[in-house]
Amino acid sequence: MAKVFKKTSKSGGLTLCLGKRDYVDHMSKVDQVDGVVKLDTSEFGSRKVFVQLACAFRYGSDDLDVMGLCFRKDIWIHQVQIYPESHKPTLTDMHNTLMKKCGDNSYPFSFEIPNNLPCSISLQPGPEDKGKSCGVDFEVKAYLANDKCNPDETIDKKDTARLIIRKIQYAPAQVGAGPKADICKGFMMSDKPVHLEASLEKDLYFHGENIPIKIKINNETNKTVKKFSITVEQTTDIVLYSADKYSKPVFNQEFGETVDPNSTYESTLSITPVLAENKEKRGLALDGRLKDEDTNLASTTMLRPGVEKDVLGILVSYKIKINLMVAGGGLLGGLTSR
């Protein structure tokens, strides 16, 4: 049986209904947003019913609004009037299902999400943080008003019904060759260097999928490689309102394998970065979170040719670092495999 997501205004006059809350960005197009609003028009008077879809960037807590500061920036917004009827979309199977479940006085609506908009991303709040998290979100809102876009008109909260939806990144079916990186470093009191090479099988991995890393070490020095570590870093670049860019580790593990002088090491090690092990890290980028539902580490931002980065709000990328600890020689680092 199909699930229906509902939100009713406090006045009881509007009930917003959607058949799903995740809408996939397929790169060429985005899933259409189809829904209905069930109306009780007994107290509407001359007011009209509008439905709005907005993509916005939230960069502060609701408390700032009390101080007269703006904490929300609209990236894209579109409204349609459904009562009295002026917006009559082509009915889809989703519309028919929702109208059947909601009964009489149900009015359909549709929105096309432009494919140049960012995907839903939220920045993980800290344990003590309250209110809505920072990030990019999409909101469907049904409301009563006299005019479609009158900035001087106050919309009563009791005559408003809202549902947050997510625009999520589609992973391409075709994957490319995996990245490869190598480094060569010498040490004092040793004529020859240490060679480190790392590579991945492919360039795309799904949430929760093991990532096998092929590692080759050729130790030509007279020193022993005592151990090495693998770190995965998430880099978040907030491009909409500032040049705020930072990296946070989402996986780190040490391996105790040693590589003796004038010997080699070769192995494939699997790692799996997951959100469950990073729940306390404030500012970590996550796929947009819906209330009472879990999510994942944010997907890598897929950049389309010709799309301005500023419109995307938040850019997310990942890199793998491998560090060797050499006895008496310090740290051999700086290898980055993207």
pLDDT tops 60 at residue 61: no
**For residues 313 and 307, what is the distance between their CA atoms, to the nearest angstrom?**
12
β-pairing, 180-185 with 106-111?
unpaired
pLDDT tops 60 at residue 331: no
Instruction: List all residues 6 or more positions away from 289 whose beta carbon is below 8 Å from its beta carbon.
Output: 122, 133, 295
**For residues 166 and 12, what is the distance between their CA atoms, to the nearest angstrom?**
26
Mean of per-residue pLDDT scores for the chain: 85
pLDDT in tens, 166-192: 998 887 777 888 899 999 988 777 788
Closest among 19, 337, 43 to 201, alpha carbons compared: 337
**For residues 304 and 308, what is the distance between their CA atoms, to the nearest angstrom?**
9
Among the residue ranges 23-27, 69-73, 148-152, 270-274, the one predicted with the least confidence is 69-73
Calculate Rg over the CA atoms of the chain: 26
Confidence of residue 305 (pLDDT cuts 50, 70, 90): confident
Burial of 63 (0-12, 13-18, 19+ CB in 10 A): exposed
β-pairing, 72-83 with 160-169?
unpaired
In the three-class reduction of DSSP (H, G, I as helix; E, B as strand; rest coil), residue 24 is classed as strand
Q: What is the pTM of this model?
A: 0.81
Three-state SS across 148-193? CCCCCCCCCHHHEEEEEEEEEECCCCCCCECCEEEEEECCCCCCCC
